[in-house]
Amino acid sequence: MQKLCDLIKNNQAFLVKRVLSYAKLHNYVKYTSTLEEAWIASIAGLSSALLKAISLDAQVPEIDVDQDFAHNPMASFGVIEAQKHRQRGVSLEMFLGLMKYYRQTYLDLIRESIQDQEQWELYMLWANRFFDHNEISFCAEWTAQTKEAIIAELQVANRRLVNEKNKYLTIFESLSTPAVLLDAENRCINMNYAAQRLFQGELQSPGSIYYATLPTQRKVTDFLPWLVHELMDFCQGDKRELLIEKEFAAANRQKKKFIIKFHRMLDVSEKFEGTIILFDDVTELKIIEDQLRHLSYYDVLTGLYNRNYMEQEIVRVSSGGYEPVGFISIDVDGLKLVNDNCGHAAGDTLLMTVGQIIKNCFREGDIIARIGGDEFAVLLPMSDALSVQKACRRIKDKIFEHNLVKLNMPISISLGWSVGHPCISDVLDKIIVEADSLMYAEKTDNRFRYTTLFNKRLKEYGKNLFKTNA
């Protein structure tokens, strides 16, 4: 009998699939569980009882005339199942009818797996007798109860079921995530309190849809028209679930961003087909993400791009298609001098002013960044030498104009530039190095001139030097 035991142990999935197919074919799923786990548990319980019976006695369990089915170890499964199913309101006819297909399932497994005729006959007989014992014990237990006792048993079970329903309804209504339940025709069969508030405003109360006197099943096209396209794509596809990101105006007209999840009903019986839609509000998260993204690409002080962004753009431009490429290296003269004599707030004002002047000198497509403490850089895609020269001239002219007007805010910069045709990154690296070299050569000459200018202005303006309101 070991071969029969191994056959049953190793084919639980087959048994679940086969009995479920019989139940669907003959419409027993009309009153059975919707979850596959319930069918797995029923097959596991039945298989365990059969294997235990074989372990007690390998002989074919015939049915004696004086058999005590109430205390028969082999038939204990039938007794327990009778008590459970009677409490659920299942009729004797319904249970025995489905049990015939459980029997058929196990016989199918033996018939399709055992080739030896003698073994086949033994195993088929064993399985049939096992089911005979349990069906008889089921009937005996079922009919042993009086009508009054059965009614009392059903009343207790009904109260328990009502409480269980109320528990799960309360959980559903208490979820902070808005949830909408659609049937196979995409009609709304329920939505929780969070979904009601999102789509219908504050006037609703928890459970108002479930307990409505005249429940209306509105089509999704009526109250979620902006989601119909994505829902149709999901319904016509074969995915179990789908995530999308979408922005829409809630009932209070406030625009919010949501991660929306479509999920098919987990109903193996196929009587409750439909879709669950969950709405996860990520508005605040997206704001934080945008802020973090901004911080990762922008310089906090000047509002220009930072070194990280500039390096990414250098890689992009190096890939080709942007030739010729110009690069301008800019260094603010005397930042340490300003910080030491006027404070770091004054130094920040100097940097912000220079950043704004540089920004005003370039096209929208040019990449302007603060890449270090007093260092700025400009990357100019599709710019020839003449264009870059003119841009450098504009910067210096704007600095000159600034110094004529803003006497209490003296500015000086050192600047170098270069142009090339990069097809690979190291060529652009050489362009940058050349621009840096020219900038540092100019800085040597500018250092003394700016020190002289700064000291002159410091004597004139004192503590008002680099004050924006002076």
Domain assignment of residue 162, yes or no: no
Determine the pLDDT at residue 244.
Answer: 93
Mean pLDDT of the 176-188 span = 91
Report whether pLDDT(75) > 80.
no
When pLDDT is cut at 50, 70 and 90, the band that residue 148 belongs to is confident
The verdict on 419 and 319 lying in the same domain is: yes
The verdict on 32 and 129 lying in the same domain is: yes
Residues 194 and 177: beta-carbon distance below 8 Å: yes
Residues 370 and 347: beta-carbon distance below 8 Å: no
The verdict on 307 and 442 lying in the same domain is: yes
The verdict on 97 and 218 lying in the same domain is: no
Which of the listed residues 286, 316, 338 is the one where a domain comes to its end? Answer: 286
Residue 185 has what DSSP assignment? T
Chain centroid offset of residue 133 CA: 51
- Predicted structure pTM score: 0.64
Report whether pLDDT(103) > 70.
yes
Which of the listed residues 144, 165, 183 is the one where a domain comes to its end? Answer: 144
Domain at 342, CATH number: 3.30.70.270
Report whether pLDDT(177) > 80.
yes
Domain assignment of residue 308, yes or no: yes
The verdict on 17 and 64 lying in the same domain is: yes
Higher pLDDT among residues 48 and 421, named by residue: 48
In angstroms, rounded to a whole number, what is the distance separating the alpha carbons of residues 325 and 432? 10
The verdict on 220 and 110 lying in the same domain is: no
> Per residue in 265-319, pLDDT tens?
988 888 888 999 999 999 889 888 888 888 889 999 999 999 999 999 998 888 8
Determine the pLDDT at residue 424.
Answer: 53
Q: Is 10 helix (H, G, I), strand (E, B) or coil?
A: coil
Which of the listed residues 101, 122, 144 is the one where a domain comes to its end? Answer: 144
Domain assignment of residue 440, yes or no: yes
In angstroms, rounded to a whole number, what is the distance separating the alpha carbons of residues 358 and 338? 20
Domain at 87, CATH number: 1.10.490.10
Domain assignment of residue 166, yes or no: no
> Per residue in 342-378, pLDDT tens?
999 999 999 999 999 999 999 888 999 999 999 999 9
Q: Is 104 helix (H, G, I), strand (E, B) or coil?
A: helix
The verdict on 268 and 302 lying in the same domain is: no
Count of structural domains within the chain: 3
Residue 113 structure tokens: 């797996």
Determine the pLDDT at residue 157.
Answer: 75
Domain assignment of residue 165, yes or no: no
The verdict on 452 and 321 lying in the same domain is: yes
Which strands form 188-191's sheet, in the order they lie side by side? 188-191, 179-183, 274-281, 255-264, 241-249
When pLDDT is cut at 50, 70 and 90, the band that residue 213 belongs to is low
The verdict on 267 and 311 lying in the same domain is: no
Residue 108 structure tokens: 């199918």
Residue 313 structure tokens: 């753009």
The verdict on 328 and 190 lying in the same domain is: no
The verdict on 240 and 322 lying in the same domain is: no
The verdict on 69 and 89 lying in the same domain is: yes
Nearest Cα to Cα of residue 390 among 439, 328, 438, 437:
328
Domain assignment of residue 184, yes or no: yes
Determine the pLDDT at residue 470.
Answer: 60
Domain assignment of residue 155, yes or no: no
Q: Is 154 helix (H, G, I), strand (E, B) or coil?
A: helix
CA distances (Å), origin 279, targets 125, 141, 357, 430: 55, 49, 46, 52
Domain that holds residue 126: 2-144
Domain at 274, CATH number: 3.30.450.20
Domain assignment of residue 276, yes or no: yes
